[in-house]
Chain A
């Protein structure tokens, strides 16, 4: 693109830029349409053709619609998934864990995917908690579960931070109280016994220990909706470890913890006082004893990796759509043989060649445009359905909706196929009038 145009585009508001791109994508159809249809009133005959071949038209339109719907759905879905996973990680500004795989640590701490990772010890945790740039530091002591739902030990401050105010009840105050995620089956007042381990590796119940649910979180659109948050102290206690506080503790759960009585945590969440502070801490705690990661950054690296796949996917989607359309156009060519007598009649009456050209071309383009429109609608329905299933399965709120890139894709598709439709239109002009007329 020449620089002045790129400059101009860069200066426009985003929606305007997108509209310009869409119009640009559609420009070929509009120009061809204007040139081909100029001076003709083809609608009566066009609608007659559509009515005459109504089932053929419906089948062709549906073929195009399904191929577009799948393509659009795929792209919207992928973006929805990307946005959903990013949103779910929003609150997890900085995570500190023992050195290892960043992705594993992120999946475990943010998305509560079961995995065994080493612990960070008391002195290290104390160092993090005491950092001048730290606004909030909380242990994320995952590993236990109840009926396959993770039970995570943390602090009241973390619950406040994650939930931004409970939907129901209050934050836990003693070791036997728990907070339930929005999509857990337990109600305030219910009790449960945690199990050691998570998922398929869940081992026996922690004998005799019982939590009582005292509060419920609002929907967060993340796997935490299906989790229980309990005091970190109780997680340590049920494992027969120290409870994080020196003897003589008054029983108030939450930080600060005593480094000498801190049994360890697989991860700690950090909210820094500022973006700069977060970078300071990240740099400082990336040592041989700890690993500090920005889940957002790890996620966008993953997304970038998926971006390549996305590109391949879009190309595949376009190729499929073009193939379907080529099939449809081949069908149209056969159809125009059926229409040959009518087209010949028009020529015999004195209609210009271009009139028949316009008629056949707009017949094809009508099917293409109808198919594209229906395909967009179909794509939206499809992504809604799939998003629902994904949200249900992963608890990551995925809200896929139609975006500009899909509209651009469909615009380009319409233009490309409208160009291809010139071929059958051209072929109708080369048919022998007299022979077709005699039928």
Chain B
């Protein structure tokens, strides 16, 4: 897999009532880079990830992944982009309670092209085992603990082999050892497979392992000038 680069310019996201919740004049992330995003609650971190995934349409500006400006795509175009390119880990995990761990981990197979389904399911199964959930893969997901649910959500994002991983607090519900292990895995995935990773996190161990750390405050990215060259 070849990772893809990210280039943002003049980005602005407005919320209800025209309130500006995020503005990013300029950001360049080369392919295969692991970026950590931190900042206080309500700063706009999740909003940034949503915009990067095309879940939110920005009111202005460009978000260019590889050579596609997703801000210029319509709703279906952005969904197709997510399908093919993005693995997303949600802050609240968001699992389908009545599906099994494996059912959740492989849920994207249900609407993937027929030829990819087998691969997604196999990959989900392998990753569940790798994250210590192989034995309980058939159990309903609402019987799992918070940390286990988080790992299921991570596997779901990884199973599709997407070149871009967007993670919102992926280690929040985990103990130190598991958090470190997951941080290692995410970083390895980014580096070894050349994926591009943007992870929102309060976890210093994740910041340490990242290629780059970005601070968000009041909807503004605070980039050291040197880094943004």
Chain A residues near B (Cβ < 8 Å): 39-42, 44-45, 48-49, 51-52, 341-342, 345-353, 355, 433-434, 437, 439
Contacts and interface: CB of A to CB of B under 8 A. Distances in A.
Given A41-B117, A42-B110, A437-B55, A348 B99 contact: no
A355 B110 contact: yes
Contacts of B108: 349-351
B109 interface: yes
Contact of B98 (A41, A48, A351): A48
Contacts of B83: 350-352
27 contacts: A39-B113, A39-B114, A40-B110, A41-B111, A44-B103, A45-B99, A45-B107, A48-B98, A52-B97, A342-B96, A345-B94, A346-B111, A347-B55, A348-B55, A349-B88, A349-B108, A350-B79, A350-B80, A350-B108, A350-B111, A351-B83, A351-B108, A352-B79, A352-B111, A353-B75, A437-B55, A437-B94
A48 B104 CA distance: 11
Q: Which residue among A346, A350, A351, A433 has the maximum number of chain B CB atoms within 10 Å of its CB?
A: A350
A349 B107 contact: yes
B90 A348 contact: yes
Contacts, number: 77
B8 interface: no
Contacts of B53: 348
Contacts of B86: 350
Given A41-B110, A350-B79, A434-B55, 16 more contacts: A40-B110, A42-B110, A52-B98, A345-B96, A346-B107, A346-B111, A347-B55, A348-B53, A348-B82, A348-B88, A349-B82, A350-B83, A350-B86, A351-B111, A352-B111, A353-B76
Contacts of B82: 348-350
Contacts of A346: 107, 111
A347 to B, nearest CB: 6
Contacts of B88: 348-349
Instruction: Kindly name the residue among A40, A42, A52, A349 whose own CB sees the greatest number of chain B CB atoms within 10 A.
Output: A349
B56 interface: yes
Contacts of B113: 39
Contacts of A351: 79, 83, 108, 110-111
Contact of B56 (A48, A355, A434): A434
A347 B90 CA distance: 13
Interface centre among B79, B99, B109 (most CB of A within 10 A): B79
Contacts of B110: 40-42, 44-45, 351, 355
Contacts of A345: 90, 94, 96
A418 B115 CA distance: 30
Contact of B109 (A39, A41, A342): A41
Nearest to B156: A349
Contacts of B75: 353
Contacts of A44: 99, 103, 107, 110
Interface string B83-127: 110101010101011110001000111110110010000000000
Nearest to B16: A435
Nearest to A347: B79
B131 interface: no
A49 B80 CA distance: 24
A27 to B, nearest CB: 26
Contacts of A341: 94
Q: Which of B55, B81, B84 has the most CB of A within 10 A?
A: B55
B50 interface: yes
Contacts of B90: 345, 348, 437
Nearest to A53: B98
Contacts of A353: 75-76, 79
Nearest to B110: A41
Contacts of A48: 96, 98-99, 103
A66 B110 CA distance: 34
A82 to B, nearest CB: 49
Contacts of B84: 350
B70 to A, nearest CB: 12
B98 A51 contact: yes
Contacts of B76: 352-353
Give the top 3 A-B pairs by smallest Cβ distance, nearest first.
A350-B82, A350-B83, A48-B98
Contacts of A39: 111, 113-114
Which of B53, B98, B108 has the largest count of A CB atoms less than 10 A from its CB?
A: B98
Nearest to B55: A348
Contacts of B117: 41
Nearest to A355: B111
Nearest to A47: B98
Contacts of B114: 39
Nearest to B108: A349
B16 to A, nearest CB: 9
Contact of B55 (A342, A352, A433): A433
Interface in B42-86: 50, 53, 55-56, 75-76, 79-84, 86
B96 A45 contact: yes
A434 B79 contact: no
A378 B48 CA distance: 56
Nearest to A52: B98
Nearest to A429: B75
Contacts of B79: 347, 350-353
Nearest to B99: A48
A430 to B, nearest CB: 11
A346 B55 CA distance: 11
A289 B95 CA distance: 89
Contacts of A350: 79-84, 86, 108, 111
Q: Which of B75, B84, B108, B111 is packed against the most chain A CB atoms within 10 Å?
A: B111
Contacts of B111: 39-41, 346, 350-352, 355
A12 B113 CA distance: 42
